[in-house]
Structure 1
Amino acid sequence: MFFRRKNVACAFKYENTPLSTPLENLDFVVFDTETTGFQVATMDRIIEIGAVSIKGLEVRETDTFQTYVNPNRKIPQETVELTSISNVQVEGAPQALEAIMSFFDYVQSREAVCLVGHYVSFDVLALKSEFSREKLALKKFLTIDTLDLIGFIAPSYDMRDLERYAMAFGTRIYDRHSGLGDALTTAYLFIELLWQFKNRGYSTWGELIKATDSQMRSLQ
């Protein structure tokens, strides 16, 4: 017998946001996940979610979200060394579904137009996989990848490392391989990219969508 998976949704404002809306009138949430490894579609699990809001083209450092997540498996030593997240830290942390729903509550309360991330397809796959393990389906929603915006503004750059991009564009760098730290680093990089986007004569939500459309990320 075929059972249809229940859809879970996170509310965003992009569907009701006029394409003519100026960039400075948009609210975003920038996020990042840390995981036990790179095989998030199969064996690896989320161990941290970090996020920060953007309003009026400014990063709101006093308005952040951070939670560790219990992966229900031992964190590999190389991941502990990379992220500084220990098995003790996640032992009493929320389960993935609870942690993600808390994150979605944060996103919805900020009335974000969409989620933003650096190489965001990895992070959204991690979220989607956690829901799939609970026999739930995550309803698709819009995301913007800073890599796509960099590709539009400076197509000569050919690298994925967040820190190298932050250095190249002269933006702030926070704790690496930390969910909140990487979210803050990505947020400041995103703001710099938006200002460069504006300096090239683009100023609206519709133009931002079009500029990132070729690789625009969405959950299925």
Structure 2
Amino acid sequence: MTFDPFFFMKGIQGRIGSSQSGQSQQQVAYLRQLQREMRVEETLHIPLTELNVIIFDIETTGFYPDKGDQIISIGAIEVKGDVINEKETFYSLVRTEKMLSEEISQLTGLTDQQLQNAPQLSEVLFQFFQFAQDYTLVAHHANHEKIFLQHALWKQFRSPFKHRLVDMSLLYRIAEPNVKLITLEECCEHCGIPIVGRHHALYDAMLTAQLWSTYVKKLHEKGCETLKDLYELFTNG
């Protein structure tokens, strides 16, 4: 399966050529309105088998955005309960200000030319949050994604990151506490999920979505029905 390196989303087309200043004002207004309308606490009580989530992954040039590392791609897919909606996906490269290291280029398969022709980070973030709406976000080892989104949203829009973000590793720690899993590869191999396209943001999001679906079912069998149940089991464990 191959993907165009830019947008796959709910009929939303990128507006790369429009006025940057006017668009920025619209983007800030949209994000602030989205944050005002979010009902983060309500998601704690929705059964995991019914919870709408956006499972995503970002590829970056390193680990420290405050030291100049940058987002170079974002991929995401919608999941309703334990059902993966493969028609609802998002993927975009992100324009960067400096050349990729050879290590990152080899790891991700991305080139400087691809990134130089990609949309600006502000545009990609705006499109991503239009896609994600107020859904709960999920990522594998989510602290990496959280740090970069917090930094990027504040730098681009002077906006905080307010979405609920669930770390996928929390689910398998609760569902299988005696199984030691760390990497995405280890988790997929343990669950019999074929590993395809590692370190491509959309492929990694799709792998994580399969893990989410698997562990939502396992947690349901253990009587863990909601995020509230999940957090309480983790805290008391």
TM range (shorter): 0.7 to 0.9
Of 152, 155, 161 in structure 2, the residue corresponding to residue 133 of structure 1 is 155
Q: Root-mean-square deviation (CA), in Å? A: 2.3
Q: Could you say which residue in structure 1 is the equivalent of 2:25?
A: none
State, as a whole percentage, how many aligned pairs show the same letter: 28
Report whether the alignment pairs 1:14 with 2:40: yes
> Aligned in 2, Cα 1:213/1:62: closer, same or farther, shift over 3 Å?
farther
Gaps of 5+ in 2: 1-27
Q: Per the alignment, in what secondary structure is the counterpart of residue 182 of structure 2? A: coil
Report whether the alignment pairs 1:50 with 2:75: yes
Count of paired positions: 205
TM-score (norm 2): 0.78
TM-score (norm 1): 0.84
Of 117, 142, 146 in structure 2, the residue corresponding to residue 120 of structure 1 is 142
Correspondences of 1:1-220 after superposition (within 5 Å) = 9=32, 10-11=34-35, 12-17=38-43, 19=45, 21-108=46-133, 111-112=134-135, 114-134=136-156, 136-211=158-233
Higher strand share: 1
Q: Per the alignment, in what secondary structure is the counterpart of residue 85 of structure 2? A: strand
More moved, 97-106 vs 197-206 = 197-206
Question: Alpha-carbon deviation of 1:160?
Answer: 2.4
**Is this contact kept in 2: 1:35–1:46, CA < 8 A?**
yes
Question: Alpha-carbon deviation of 1:49?
Answer: 0.2
**Is this contact kept in 2: 1:69–1:96, CA < 8 A?**
yes
**Is this contact kept in 2: 1:36–1:44, CA < 8 A?**
yes
Deviations 1:19-78 (A, max 9, x none): 1x3222211000000011222332110000000000141111111000000121111111
Deviations 1:162-209 (A, max 9, x none): 011111122343310010010000010011111110111222343234
Q: Could you say which residue in structure 2 is the equivalent of 1:218?
A: none
**Using the alignment, how far apart are the partners of 2:212 and 2:103 within structure 1?**
29
**Using the alignment, how far apart are the partners of 2:223 and 2:102 within structure 1?**
48
> Aligned in 2, Cα 1:25/1:96: closer, same or farther, shift over 3 Å?
same
